[in-house]
Structures are given as C-alpha cells and as structure tokens.
Amino acid sequence: MEITAGRIVDLLGQRHSKDIFVTECNTGSSQYHKGVRRFDAWVMKRSWLSPMITGYEIKVSRSDFLQDKKWREYSPYCNQLFFVTPNGLVDPREIERPAGLIQVTKNGNRLLCKKPADRRAIDDPIDILKYLLMARTKIRPTTFQHTIDLERFGIEHWQAWLQDKQINSAVGSHCRTQIAERVEKKCQEIIAENKRMRNILFRKGWDKDSNKR
C-alpha cells in the first residue's frame, strides 16, 4: 500500500485530536524573518501546566530523507521531534538524536514509534506562537451562537430558528393569557360560591334564632 504524506497527516491528526494540531506550520513570519522553517506538523498539548510541544517531519521518499540537513533547526520550537515515514523507509539506527522515528504500519492504518525522541526543555517559542496567532488564528466572539454555529448551519438555519422562536414565543404568550384568564375565572367562581354559602349559613342562623323566640 502506497503511503502518501496526506495519509500520514491524517493519522497524526487522529492521534492528536484533543491537542492543538497545526499542519504546514512556520517557525515565524517569512515576511520579516530570514531562515524561517516549516514543520509538516506542529502539536501542542492542551495543558497550562505542561504544554508538551511535538514537531513532525514527514518523509515519504528515501531521497527526501537523505537530503534533509535542516531538521536540527526545528529544535528550539519543540520539546521533541519525530520523523514520520512509511514502514521500512528508514532504519531507526539512521535517526540521530535528539530526533525519534515513527512509521506507518504496512496496512496504513496505524502509527508505531520505532525510536523515541529525546524530550528537551525549551523556552516558550514566541515566534511560532506569534505566527499562529497572527496568520493562522481567527478570533471569534465569546457568545456561542455567534461563533461556530453560524458557520456550521448558515443563515437559512438561523432564519428558520428565529421564526420558530417567534412562533413559540407567540404560543407561549397565548397560553399564559389563557391560563391567567382561566385562573381568574376560577377565582371569581370560588369567591361567588363562598359568598353564597355564607349567605345560606347566615339565613339558617337567623331562622334558628327566630324559632327560639
């Protein structure tokens, strides 16, 4: 089975579905900085305490792997760095520290770590974080229904939603009016019945006193 770079990206995305996963990630602004490099994939764990950063270099041909002499320049931007290749493309012994090696299984469905990468402490990668914020991030309002849902469903959905809301509001108002009217009517009936019973009791009491006299 031929393993493409796109397939490897998909597998990495599945592995890091809960992390910040960025493909074709520059190490800074190519407009204002020289020597900017580009990760095939850059990942940051969603954690305030230990946001582990992992860089990935994808190689699907032997020549591409052998010609890559710049990979060490990625080190300041990640705690660990992996080459990711199809099965058997690279011997783990060819991978120099601190990098590691991950390979796709023969059936193309899984990723297996063939050589662990060294984990290193790094300074906060300010340049790459600025790049992500300025070039790859869309700032959205905090109100939920004005962010993702508007893009997901479109204007027609929300027009229908608003119409339903207006209808539901009208129905609710009508129901409240009907209930209030029925409650008021029932209260008046109870008041009238209480008044009638008091009159009956009063008359009976008056007749009893008259008989005694």
Model pLDDT for residues 15-31, shown as the tens digit of each residue: 999 999 999 999 888 77
Cα(102)–Cα(84) distance, rounded to whole angstroms?
5
Token code pair at residue 23: 């493909």
pLDDT number for residue 58:
96
Domain layout of the chain by residue ranges: 5-137, 142-213
Question: How buried is residue 104: exposed, middle or buried, by Cβ count under 10 Å (0-12/13-18/19+)?
Answer: buried
Q: Out of 1-15, 59-73, 160-174, 185-199, which region has the weakest mean confidence (pLDDT)?
A: 160-174
Report the alpha-carbon angle 96-97-102, nearest 5: 75
5-137, which class in CATH?
A: alpha beta
**Residue 204 vs residues 79, 107, 143, 174: alpha-carbon distances, Å:** 98, 99, 69, 45
Q: For the segment 70-126, what is each residue's pLDDT rounded down to a tens digit? A: 899 998 899 999 999 999 999 999 999 999 999 999 888 999 999 999 999 999 889
* Phi, psi (degrees; rounded to nearest 5) at 98: -90, 10
pLDDT number for residue 148:
46
SS3 (DSSP) at 42: strand
% of residues, the chain, pLDDT over 90: 44
pLDDT number for residue 206:
57
Q: Out of 100-104, 128-132, 167-171, 189-193, which region has the weakest mean confidence (pLDDT)?
A: 167-171
Rounded to the nearest integer, the mean pLDDT of the chain is 83
Token code pair at residue 128: 């790459």
Contact yes or no for 118/101 (Cβ under 8 A): no
